Structure 1
């Protein structure tokens, strides 16, 4: 069934944003602290058996100087530095294996895949620990990890890792540092949205059915996971509800959207109960940069699948070349 308001209302939906007064200072301080650690990006050649790409097993320093893992795939035989798509992963997944990431190299572009710290045991394996324990009790998953304090919250670390992933990708000589896109689906889409605001000189962003947008509204209208983790926590800690949503306001995609100037392609599916359409349209409608959105009326959280990948490929041709 269609899970949200009618499409004509969604296109004009522009809700108020729960923005903390120190939002910019919080993220400026966070990234300044992260950059006190040397990036230490290491690209180790990896024998993948693939004929179409040279593969590197990547490590670099993310939040707190913690080691983050990734993959870099560069089209084999490229004559010079090539554009690069920095890819972020959906909730519960990890970087997997190089064979999982052949789409963008098949179009002649490099792809840098960031592993998600502390995830990758749900549906595609990950290899990056989250050394920061957060504080206090938490539900399964990472949605409530450290949620009592914005400074200790999990997504502060993940989004910082994501900014540093762009810096790591740019450091490799096979990558054209001036032609970088960020991309992702669900949690990865929400991460790409955050980075589109935190890194001002990107070429474009592919923001596919993004998670972590209009968060309080999402928790109120869907029972689906991962938002259900927040509802479960609030059910147990009835006296901490406002504290929870104050922390979440520092990572809400709406507050990144109004700060973004990066050209962006969004997607939304009208039968999506995981990232309800009103949460996606709220982010899109608040987005300050040049933007387009593709609507898939009869799809759920899978979004536009291969058809949307072709839309993304066309968008990249416009903004990255090739």
Structure 2
């Protein structure tokens, strides 16, 4: 895949094309207040995953609308005192999968809390959480479900679930609630940016090749799904363009990053044709924190840094939580 986006110099200066709604903060404050009016009711049930050196819990907690959301909590069996915790979100189409898929952080001495993504988990990794909310007419996939209003858009539910997942992780006796980081790749990276800004008290943010950033540029630039789900929807609903992008502004990683001062380590792949590098730099450059860094992988597509980024995260997070 050749270089197709801006030059490296332009990327490092790019600020994005997103307009922040005047009521952005009020919208999310009201959304979270509504969710928190329902008891979190987090349940941690011991789960036999066939893994001897970690302890696994099958978690259920109340997300958006009080809907049950599944997760895994995985802890090192040998531990002293409360553990720092990494809350992990999953890429587009995937679910929480199996516990043995999430052993990096427990192997490094952290707790890991892996949130299932409602309605997903049947494309490449299995999920166990339904999305009981319906939608207006939508293009196949998740990107256009309820897209004609911020109140009904699919990611309002997902981002609310993500904040409640942090609260569920904090509620476990083995977790130090003051030492929590969030991470995820692609969609999981976009969710982590939103969750970090909305929680407002995390120790670290590690979005890996994050999705859901700078919608105005991404939708017209990349040829590979999921962003083109939106352009195909608009090709049919020609009269809904302004309305759609007005909705998306409430869910754009650039707008979340601009309010977040959490220490952050981003990654970007310069040949990424799913999450264009300019859209990731837009979020990174907007990030309000003074302590931030971005790892660039100049010859990679959406696989990004892979194991190299795993090691970079391990090194960067050490001593921060």
Residue 218 of structure 1 corresponds to which residue in structure 2?
A: 218
Secondary structure of 2:37's counterpart equals: coil
C-alpha distance after superposition, 1:74-104 (max 9, x if no partner) = 0111121110000000000000000000010
Cα distance in 2, alignment partners of residues 77 and 108 from structure 1: 9
Aligned-pair distance for 1:265? 0.2
| Match runs of 1:1-322 below 5 Å | 1-134=2-135, 136-289=136-289, 290-320=291-321
- Unaligned residue ranges in structure 1 (runs of 5+): none
Does the CA-based 8 Å contact 1:52-1:105 persist in structure 2?
A: no
Secondary structure of 1:93's counterpart equals: coil
Aligned-pair distance for 1:137? 0.7
Cα distance in 1, alignment partners of residues 115 and 25 from structure 2: 24
Cα distance in 2, alignment partners of residues 244 and 16 from structure 1: 15
Aligned-pair distance for 1:196? 1.3
Cα distance in 2, alignment partners of residues 15 and 103 from structure 1: 33
Aligned-pair distance for 1:49? 1.1
C-alpha distance after superposition, 1:36-68 (max 9, x if no partner) = 000000000001110221000000000000000
Secondary structure of 1:224's counterpart equals: coil
Secondary structure of 1:91's counterpart equals: coil
Does the CA-based 8 Å contact 1:196-1:261 persist in structure 2?
A: no
C-alpha distance after superposition, 1:157-214 (max 9, x if no partner) = 0000000000000000011111000000000000100111111110101111111100
Cα distance in 1, alignment partners of residues 37 and 23 from structure 2: 21
Does the CA-based 8 Å contact 2:16-2:217 persist in structure 1?
A: no
For normalisation by structure 1, the TM-score amounts to 0.98
Cα distance in 2, alignment partners of residues 73 and 170 from structure 1: 13
Aligned-pair distance for 1:216? 1.3
- The RMSD of aligned alpha carbons is 0.7
C-alpha distance after superposition, 1:3-50 (max 9, x if no partner) = 211101110111343111111100000000000000000000001110
Cα distance in 1, alignment partners of residues 131 and 192 from structure 2: 20
Cα distance in 1, alignment partners of residues 270 and 307 from structure 2: 17
Does the CA-based 8 Å contact 2:268-2:304 persist in structure 1?
A: yes
Cα distance in 2, alignment partners of residues 3 and 163 from structure 1: 35
Cα distance in 1, alignment partners of residues 18 and 144 from structure 2: 21
Could you list the runs of 4 or more consecutive aligned residues of structure 1 that deviate by over 3 angstroms after TM superposition? none
C-alpha distance after superposition, 1:119-158 (max 9, x if no partner) = 0011000000001112x11111110000111101000000
Does the CA-based 8 Å contact 1:3-1:272 persist in structure 2?
A: no
Does the CA-based 8 Å contact 2:18-2:215 persist in structure 1?
A: no
Does the CA-based 8 Å contact 2:16-2:279 persist in structure 1?
A: no
Cα distance in 2, alignment partners of residues 144 and 15 from structure 1: 22
Does the CA-based 8 Å contact 1:90-1:188 persist in structure 2?
A: yes
Secondary structure of 1:250's counterpart equals: helix
